[in-house]
Amino acid sequence: MRFHYAFQNIVDLKSNEKSQAEWMLSTAIGKLQDEERTLHEFQTNRKQMTDQLQSDVENAASVAEIRVIQTYVEHLDQCIKRKQSDVHRANVVVIKSKDHLTNKMLDEKVWMKSRDKEKDKFQHEMLLKEQNELDEIATVRFAMNSR
Protein backbone atom coordinates (compact mmCIF):
# COMPACT_ATOMS: atom_id res chain seq x y z
CA MET A 1 0.00 0.00 0.00
CA ARG A 2 1.27 3.41 -0.98
CA PHE A 3 1.16 6.59 1.10
CA HIS A 4 -1.36 9.17 -0.06
CA TYR A 5 -1.56 12.52 1.70
CA ALA A 6 -5.08 13.92 1.64
CA PHE A 7 -3.86 17.52 1.54
CA GLN A 8 -1.15 17.06 -1.13
CA ASN A 9 -2.84 19.66 -3.34
CA ILE A 10 -2.41 22.24 -0.59
CA VAL A 11 1.26 21.29 -0.18
CA ASP A 12 1.73 21.72 -3.94
CA LEU A 13 -0.08 25.06 -3.85
CA LYS A 14 2.12 26.31 -0.99
CA SER A 15 5.21 25.21 -2.90
CA ASN A 16 4.03 27.09 -5.99
CA GLU A 17 3.30 30.19 -3.92
CA LYS A 18 6.82 30.04 -2.50
CA SER A 19 8.26 29.75 -6.01
CA GLN A 20 6.25 32.78 -7.10
CA ALA A 21 7.48 34.74 -4.08
CA GLU A 22 11.07 33.80 -4.98
CA TRP A 23 10.48 35.02 -8.53
CA MET A 24 8.97 38.28 -7.25
CA LEU A 25 11.98 38.83 -4.95
CA SER A 26 14.35 38.15 -7.81
CA THR A 27 12.51 40.67 -9.98
CA ALA A 28 12.53 43.27 -7.19
CA ILE A 29 16.26 42.81 -6.64
CA GLY A 30 16.89 43.19 -10.37
CA LYS A 31 14.85 46.40 -10.42
CA LEU A 32 16.77 47.73 -7.40
CA GLN A 33 20.10 46.97 -9.08
CA ASP A 34 18.96 48.76 -12.25
CA GLU A 35 17.90 51.82 -10.26
CA GLU A 36 21.20 51.86 -8.33
CA ARG A 37 23.19 51.52 -11.57
CA THR A 38 21.30 54.41 -13.15
CA LEU A 39 21.81 56.53 -10.01
CA HIS A 40 25.54 55.80 -10.14
CA GLU A 41 25.63 56.83 -13.82
CA PHE A 42 23.91 60.13 -12.99
CA GLN A 43 26.35 60.77 -10.15
CA THR A 44 29.34 59.94 -12.36
CA ASN A 45 28.02 62.20 -15.11
CA ARG A 46 27.45 65.02 -12.59
CA LYS A 47 31.02 64.65 -11.29
CA GLN A 48 32.38 64.89 -14.84
CA MET A 49 30.28 67.96 -15.55
CA THR A 50 31.33 69.73 -12.34
CA ASP A 51 34.96 68.93 -13.15
CA GLN A 52 34.46 70.34 -16.64
CA LEU A 53 32.72 73.39 -15.18
CA GLN A 54 35.66 73.98 -12.82
CA SER A 55 38.07 73.59 -15.72
CA ASP A 56 36.10 76.04 -17.90
CA VAL A 57 36.01 78.61 -15.09
CA GLU A 58 39.78 78.31 -14.64
CA ASN A 59 40.35 78.57 -18.41
CA ALA A 60 38.12 81.64 -18.72
CA ALA A 61 35.49 80.02 -20.94
CA SER A 62 32.55 82.08 -22.13
CA VAL A 63 29.72 82.80 -19.73
CA ALA A 64 27.26 81.10 -22.10
CA GLU A 65 29.22 77.83 -22.05
CA ILE A 66 29.51 77.94 -18.27
CA ARG A 67 25.78 78.65 -17.96
CA VAL A 68 24.89 75.69 -20.23
CA ILE A 69 27.02 73.35 -18.15
CA GLN A 70 25.60 74.79 -14.92
CA THR A 71 22.04 74.26 -16.19
CA TYR A 72 22.90 70.68 -17.12
CA VAL A 73 24.41 70.06 -13.65
CA GLU A 74 21.19 71.38 -12.09
CA HIS A 75 19.20 69.04 -14.32
CA LEU A 76 21.42 66.14 -13.21
CA ASP A 77 20.83 67.13 -9.57
CA GLN A 78 17.08 66.82 -10.14
CA CYS A 79 17.56 63.48 -11.88
CA ILE A 80 19.70 62.26 -8.97
CA LYS A 81 17.03 63.26 -6.44
CA ARG A 82 14.32 61.46 -8.42
CA LYS A 83 16.53 58.42 -8.84
CA GLN A 84 17.33 58.34 -5.12
CA SER A 85 13.60 58.29 -4.50
CA ASP A 86 13.25 55.45 -7.04
CA VAL A 87 16.06 53.53 -5.29
CA HIS A 88 14.32 54.00 -1.95
CA ARG A 89 11.01 52.71 -3.35
CA ALA A 90 12.79 49.74 -4.94
CA ASN A 91 14.42 49.00 -1.57
CA VAL A 92 11.00 49.02 0.09
CA VAL A 93 9.70 46.60 -2.54
CA VAL A 94 12.69 44.29 -1.95
CA ILE A 95 12.07 44.33 1.81
CA LYS A 96 8.36 43.56 1.31
CA SER A 97 9.24 40.80 -1.14
CA LYS A 98 11.65 39.27 1.37
CA ASP A 99 8.97 39.35 4.06
CA HIS A 100 6.44 37.82 1.68
CA LEU A 101 8.89 35.07 0.75
CA THR A 102 9.66 34.39 4.41
CA ASN A 103 5.94 33.99 5.12
CA LYS A 104 5.46 31.69 2.14
CA MET A 105 8.47 29.59 3.15
CA LEU A 106 7.11 29.27 6.66
CA ASP A 107 3.66 28.36 5.35
CA GLU A 108 5.13 25.70 3.07
CA LYS A 109 7.27 24.33 5.90
CA VAL A 110 4.21 23.92 8.14
CA TRP A 111 2.38 21.91 5.48
CA MET A 112 5.47 19.85 4.64
CA LYS A 113 5.91 19.01 8.32
CA SER A 114 2.28 17.99 8.54
CA ARG A 115 2.72 15.73 5.52
CA ASP A 116 5.90 14.24 6.96
CA LYS A 117 4.16 13.49 10.25
CA GLU A 118 1.33 11.78 8.40
CA LYS A 119 3.82 9.79 6.36
CA ASP A 120 5.69 8.71 9.50
CA LYS A 121 2.40 7.68 11.09
CA PHE A 122 1.46 5.73 7.94
CA GLN A 123 4.82 3.96 7.85
CA HIS A 124 4.56 3.10 11.55
CA GLU A 125 1.07 1.65 11.02
CA MET A 126 2.30 -0.34 8.03
CA LEU A 127 5.19 -1.74 10.06
CA LEU A 128 2.82 -2.73 12.86
CA LYS A 129 0.47 -4.37 10.38
CA GLU A 130 3.35 -6.23 8.76
CA GLN A 131 4.66 -7.32 12.17
CA ASN A 132 1.21 -8.58 13.17
CA GLU A 133 0.95 -10.58 9.94
CA LEU A 134 4.41 -12.09 10.54
CA ASP A 135 3.44 -12.93 14.13
CA GLU A 136 0.27 -14.61 12.91
CA ILE A 137 2.20 -16.66 10.35
CA ALA A 138 4.66 -17.71 13.04
CA THR A 139 1.82 -18.68 15.39
CA VAL A 140 0.10 -20.75 12.68
CA ARG A 141 3.36 -22.54 11.83
CA PHE A 142 4.06 -23.23 15.48
CA ALA A 143 0.54 -24.60 15.95
CA MET A 144 0.88 -26.83 12.87
CA ASN A 145 4.26 -28.13 14.00
CA SER A 146 2.88 -28.87 17.49
CA ARG A 147 0.21 -31.28 16.20
Q: Count of residues for the chain?
A: 147
Per-residue pLDDT, 45: 96
Per-residue pLDDT, 135: 94
Per-residue pLDDT, 93: 97
Domain membership of residue 78 (yes or no) is yes
pTM: 0.76
**CA 100 to CA 15: how far, in whole Å?**
13
Domain membership of residue 143 (yes or no) is no
Domain membership of residue 38 (yes or no) is yes
Per the CB < 8 A criterion, the answer to whether 56 and 66 are in contact is yes
Among 47, 35, 24, 18, residue whose Cα is nearest residue 89: 35
Domain membership of residue 44 (yes or no) is yes
Domain membership of residue 37 (yes or no) is yes
User: φ, ψ for residue 2 (rounded to 5)?
Assistant: -100, 150
* pLDDT per residue of the chain (147 residues) written in tens, 0 to 9: 798 999 999 999 999 999 999 999 999 999 999 999 999 999 999 999 999 888 877 887 788 888 898 999 999 999 999 999 999 999 999 999 999 999 999 999 999 999 999 999 999 999 999 999 999 999 999 888 887
Question: The domain spanning residue 46 has which CATH number?
Answer: 1.10.287.1700
Query: What domain count does the chain have?
Result: 1
Per-residue pLDDT, 55: 86
Residue range(s) defining the domain that contains residue 23: 8-108
